[in-house]
Structure 1
């Protein structure tokens, strides 16, 4: 928290000082009241009443001004802290590899970036300030009470002592239940997100009632936990409310005897009672402050579960930029296994892709084709061996320069809730209109001009307003717009119909003639675009050669392509 608070430290100080000043003004008012009762009222001194009344009004105005300053500074500071934390969390999430996001529910990450950070902000802006202010208020008032009447003041202090063990017990119980609530909120958020993105599947299978039932079960579980949390908090606050009221009743009873015996003046009793009343809010506020503190603590714990995950793929301190890449890609003894798995997906892969050459990767499902493609732009790192570009280990290159030289299009095209132009120029936001048009033409994506607002048409979340073929063509345009030195295509033509596939392949042939390309393919027509083909089997390179040579000499190669054609035909 310290790095986020530091830029706003002076505002936090102003906020605390303003709060303390406001409380000080409110504490002085009962003392002025005592002077009014024991002075002008007791002696019927109308002239002496005016200056004391003006002083009370001035204190009230000062308190109001200080409250305004405190609230304004509080909002600007705490909202700034929350924004900085949210920005850093988002940047950290972007730095984490795909394997991290594969293991986490999206709703859990979303709840950490929204409700958890809001809980931290509430405690930072309100809880911390009023914890300081209320302790100072409590100590000051008890001191004044003891000064006015030692017996009554000590009695009030003793009456409030049970608050300490009660607070300790409440904190332990509330911390556990707060964690459960926040985790369950993440589960509910995940179900909402999955229902939104999978709406077509849910409707297509007629499973709306099933999904709604599961959501209702999660929502009921969350509601039950929240009610348990509310009962715990309500009981605690109710008891806190009772304690100062008991103290007030004792003060009124014993204070009357003190006045009658002459030990305390009437004005002193009025001031005493008013000061005790001012203890009600600090004591009651303990319930909110402690609850807010535990919510913030569990929220911070959940957020730092993400922060504590160190990005496995990041720039080496000695990383150098890749300049004027020619596109010579080599896989040297490459072995890859997912974290926690003893079985490698790739084992001892050796491949050499010369500049300007197109290498097709063919293999049955699970042979490691897509994993091999992920290693070039460092979406994953090798377990053993190395991948090089122009002789440089990709782990020794800066990620920015590597991913500027290597463009990727995936089998599942991902588009964002933005305009067509913003999606196409994602990797090259400074691309000219001519470059955008060229990329669209190359990917046979001229259909965008028929959309309601052309290139400015928003495609909707994940591009679901477009067909699968349209999404893949836009993803292909995004990959080729920068004319990369290396182009990695993970079966980007899988959702195209036969006619569009033919057009895109013809256009793609022009792109592949000017760049190094690694293409994961399943169709014989796409394999024909490649200069050479590598056949993968169980994570190993079984054969490398031209399409015609492999068809003639490697029966398994023909079997794999035949199986893919059968799947496509069915």
Structure 2
């Protein structure tokens, strides 16, 4: 885990230097105005009590103010300083809020970008709800922590200003007060360590809540059909209760630390005042402003401790975020460039001694795969669940690279940038159709942003999805959240049209019609029949009309080819 100092430097590093300097300047100005405003109590008291009551311990320039200015003038200066400090604090808080937002936006964008460009085999092993919790909740906690860093820094600067003001009045007393304050803060190191531990627990609790609701929303139909609403509600309530217990524990610890800090600080203040009067014989006129300075410092000391504790609680979130970012960036896919020759697939796809091994598994997902897929043919991959069909689909689509052996397109071995470029010529249609909230047009254009209406209409026709054109709004029909406004078969045909719109060289159908009724399955089979002479098609794990179109059927078992026909 990053140490607090290293994390703070990281958060500040990406923020514009001029704005950081501006924030620090506002903090310094706020401290100066507060300290000087409190020091004005000395000449005010001198004016009110007469020249003879001026404190002998105060500097000459401060004592002379009481003699050169009237009480009215001193009060005007005091009010002016309060107003000035209020304005400075307004802009400091505004700048602090912008800083917090910038930290959140920068980290969230970096984490999301890292996940999007990460190798599939790395990102696919992560739990979706965990990644969502980190992107949404944990990074917000980091922003709050960053704000607490600024708050602690501003408070420390203000305390330093108050300390200097006290030193100007009574150096010995000021040094004793500073030493006492430092000892009080050091005494709370264990409390901050516990705050860090609770922060780690809170991150896990947030992830658990996200998982429960993510799974529940995805299984809502099943939950209702089985009549398990109460059980699902109980699991959600249990997850929330666990999160609240951690939050309450942190609030309780914070409250107890504040009670002890305020009580200890008040005791320290009482002891120092007694020593100042009875032992060090500090002037009576200086005692009042000193008491005012220390009384102002006491809640600030509590605020500094609380900000520090809040930061310790948020620190584990940045450790989690940086772990995800560093892992994803270390596994970043190579970017294709103009110099990379794009495979065409005019002859064949050749797999030679190909193997894929997943970390943590004893058996390979694929082993010793030797096969040739001729261009413009239909190949069906069959076998039991877990036999390796979908892993081979990931290899064929360029999502993952084989650990052993090779894959070549027209004799060109796919590795590095060539594999990334090949993905631009592959269309993948999975069992569960994925549509985004919006219109049919927007969903189609997502795959091919520059596509014209004529191209979209042609793709819909090729996918047996002409029903879209008969809808009242045609291409501008809204599909609803996840495409819920369409039936399952309609969604799948729109997804197929979107895949065809990019004019792929290879079309992969991964259980694409297994959940459809006979009519929709037949409609997709007719679409594939029309396309078979124009592109290469791989059909995974399907029986019925689609499998009947296959020129070759390859059977898999335990990650190996167990048979081939056709």
TM-score (norm 2): 0.88
Per-residue deviation, 1:454: 3.8
CA distance in 1, matches of 2:550, 2:137: 50
CA distance in 1, matches of 2:531, 2:173: 90
The answer to whether the 8 A contact 1:314-1:399 is kept is no
Per-residue deviation, 1:79: 1.2
Per-residue deviation, 1:483: 1.0
The answer to whether the 8 A contact 2:110-2:325 is kept is no
Residue in structure 2 matched with residue 79 of structure 1 by the alignment: 101
Greater mean deviation of Cα atoms: 356-365 or 320-329: 320-329
Per-residue deviation, 1:457: 3.7
Query: In structure 2, do the counterparts of structure 1 residues 187 and 323 end up closer, same or farther at CA, with 3 Å as the change threshold?
Result: same
Greater mean deviation of Cα atoms: 435-444 or 216-225: 216-225
Decide which of 387, 390, 410 is 2:407's aligned counterpart: 387
Per-residue deviation, 1:101: 4.8
Residue in structure 1 matched with residue 356 of structure 2 by the alignment: 336
Decide which of 190, 194, 204 is 1:173's aligned counterpart: 194
The answer to whether the 8 A contact 2:167-2:175 is kept is yes
The answer to whether the 8 A contact 2:122-2:331 is kept is no
Alignment of 1:422-441 (within 5 A): 422-441=442-461
1:241 aligns with 2:259: no
1:32 aligns with 2:40: yes
1:16 aligns with 2:28: no
1:292 aligns with 2:310: yes
CA distance in 1, matches of 2:227, 2:289: 71
Per-residue deviation, 1:3: 7.7
The answer to whether the 8 A contact 2:350-2:408 is kept is yes
Is the partner of 2:178 in helix, strand or coil? helix
CA distance in 2, matches of 1:234, 1:226: 12
Alignment of 1:323-472 (within 5 A): 323=342, 325-327=344-346, 328-398=348-418, 400-449=420-469, 453-472=473-492
Per-residue deviation, 1:203: 0.4
The answer to whether the 8 A contact 1:405-1:484 is kept is yes
Per-residue deviation, 1:274: 1.5
Per-residue deviation, 1:249: 3.2
Is the partner of 2:70 in helix, strand or coil? helix
Alignment of 1:196-215 (within 5 A): 196-215=217-236
Write out per-residue CA displacement over residues 430-485 of structure 1, whole angstroms, 9 at most, x where no aligned residue: 21111111111211223334556443344344334433222211221121111111
Residue in structure 1 matched with residue 247 of structure 2 by the alignment: 226
Write out per-residue CA displacement over residues 481-523 of structure 1, whole angstroms, 9 at most, x where no aligned residue: 1111121221312233222322322222222211122222422
CA distance in 1, matches of 2:464, 2:337: 41
1:183 aligns with 2:204: yes
Write out per-residue CA displacement over residues 20-49 of structure 1, whole angstroms, 9 at most, x where no aligned residue: 101210110111121112025636999712
Unmatched 5+ residue regions in structure 1?
A: 547-570
Per-residue deviation, 1:180: 0.5
The answer to whether the 8 A contact 2:555-2:564 is kept is yes
The answer to whether the 8 A contact 2:378-2:538 is kept is yes
Per-residue deviation, 1:150: 4.3
The answer to whether the 8 A contact 1:376-1:394 is kept is no
Query: In structure 2, do the counterparts of structure 1 residues 282 and 69 end up closer, same or farther at CA, with 3 Å as the change threshold?
Result: same
The answer to whether the 8 A contact 1:174-1:229 is kept is yes
CA distance in 1, matches of 2:15, 2:179: 41
CA distance in 2, matches of 1:313, 1:461: 31
1:477 aligns with 2:497: yes
1:52 aligns with 2:74: yes
The answer to whether the 8 A contact 2:506-2:537 is kept is yes
CA distance in 1, matches of 2:371, 2:338: 24
1:69 aligns with 2:91: yes
The answer to whether the 8 A contact 2:333-2:420 is kept is no
CA distance in 2, matches of 1:325, 1:99: 25
RMSD: 2.8
Aligned length: 542
Per-residue deviation, 1:164: 3.2
Decide which of 492, 510, 515 is 2:535's aligned counterpart: 515
Greater mean deviation of Cα atoms: 379-388 or 159-168: 159-168
Query: In structure 2, do the counterparts of structure 1 residues 365 and 246 end up closer, same or farther at CA, with 3 Å as the change threshold?
Result: closer
Per-residue deviation, 1:254: 5.4
Greater mean deviation of Cα atoms: 202-211 or 236-245: 236-245
1:277 aligns with 2:295: yes
Residue in structure 2 matched with residue 314 of structure 1 by the alignment: 333
CA distance in 2, matches of 1:265, 1:467: 86
Per-residue deviation, 1:100: 4.1
Query: In structure 2, do the counterparts of structure 1 residues 176 and 451 end up closer, same or farther at CA, with 3 Å as the change threshold?
Result: farther
Per-residue deviation, 1:385: 0.8
Greater mean deviation of Cα atoms: 230-239 or 445-454: 445-454
Alignment of 1:110-129 (within 5 A): 110-124=132-146, 126-129=147-150
Per-residue deviation, 1:102: 4.7
